[in-house]
Each structure stands twice: as structure tokens, then as C-alpha cells.
Copies of this chain bind each other. A is one copy, B any other.
Amino acid sequence: MSQSALLNQLVDALRCLPGVGPKSAQRMAFHVLENDREGALRLASTLEDAVSRIGRCQRCRTFSESPLCQTCSDPNRDQTTICVVESPIDVAAVEQATGFRGTYFVLMGRLSPLDGIGPEELALDQLTARLKAEPVKELIIATNLSVEGEATAQYLSQLARSCGVSASRIAHGVPLGGELEYTDASTLAHAFAGRRVVEH
């Protein structure tokens, strides 16, 4: 196609964003050049800033600009409850949806021996040290409900038990507003297996 080479490069570069295919990348490139060059420059400098300055929290491993993230350095957060998640975006999801006031531990992945991801890669020694040294009461396991996520949850609950800490797993089942008819088989099986006694 006879189009500016730099424009093609921009379309390509935009495809590093998730969910952006060739068509939407093209639309984005033309849109910013035509209507929002200022926004494009701001995006460019914020991207550079973010990549150079956002590292990981020393304590919970989520994204943070400072050695300790805001949650870990907040004295009002309950340090005796730790929620374990796979990735920093899960922290954001829990923060936005729940009233959770404890702290986090971000695995940055899940156990997957086939891909060479074992306990060391997930810094589980760091989590173990916290469970042993601090007065932790509960480890809430919020890994995803995939095969690896479940295996990781299993491993984590054994780890907690060996440190004398009680472990819990977030509930999996039919989502709010979901109808049995349209719920996939494994979710429904999970919901049945995880049924709870109704208290009177």
C-alpha cells in the first residue's frame, strides 16, 4: 500500500496493545494524527515514564513507583490478611470490586512446571518468610480457576498450613445474573460441588 512508511510503523507499534488488530491500529494511528496530536505526545511521554519508573513493590510485588506500594505502606490496611493473586491487574480488580482491607501478594504468574515456572519464579520463599515472621491469620487464595491456577491454589494452601496459617479460596460458581441454562458445564459442576448449607 502506498502509504507513509512512518505511518505503517506507527500502525505496527500500536499492535503491542492487547486487543488491537491491524484494523483498529490503523484507525488509532489516523485518529491521533488527525485529531489528537497533543494526546499522542502525552501518551508517548507517559509510556516512557511508566516503563522507566514503575517497578515492583518489595513486599507484595505489585506495580509500584516507590519501594513499597500504597497498600503495603498504608497503616490502616490489615496486615494479618494476605490475598494472593496471579497478576497486578487482579489487585486492581479486587480493589475496585470488594471492600477488602487486607494486603496482597502478587505471584506474577502461576505454577506451570511445563513452562519452567516453579515456586522460585513466583517468589514463594518471600511469601513463606512473611507467613512465618508476621502474625498472619488468613491467606485468601484468589488465583484463577484454570488448571495451573488450581494447582497453584493447592500448593499455596499446603504452604499456609505448614506455616500454621489458615487458608481460604474465593468462591467459584454461577455468576450474579447468570442463568443455569447458559452456565458452562465446569462452572456449574463447581457450583454444585461448592454448595453451602442454608442457615435457618
Contacts and interface: CB of A to CB of B under 8 A. Distances in A.
Contact of A47 (B43, B54, B65, B92): B43
A39 to B, nearest CB: 3
A92 B51 CA distance: 32
A198 interface: no
A34 to B, nearest CB: 6
Interface of A: 1-7, 9-10, 13-14, 16-19, 24, 26-34, 36-37, 39-51, 53-54, 63-65, 69-71, 74, 87-89, 91-92, 95-96, 108
A39 B32 CA distance: 19
A92 B4 contact: no
A140 to B, nearest CB: 17
A89 to B, nearest CB: 4
A13, A45, A88: most-surrounded residue (chain B CB, <10 A): A13
6 contacts: A3-B63, A7-B50, A14-B43, A16-B32, A17-B43, A26-B92
Contact of A6 (B19, B42, B53, B91): B53
Contact of A26 (B1, B19, B89): B89
A136 to B, nearest CB: 20
A88 to B, nearest CB: 6
Contact of A33 (B9, B50, B74): B50
B1 A96 contact: yes
Contacts of A96: 1
In the A-B complex, list the 8 residue pairs whose CB atoms are closest, starting with the nearest. A16-B39, A30-B89, A44-B47, A13-B46, A2-B70, A44-B44, A13-B43, A18-B31
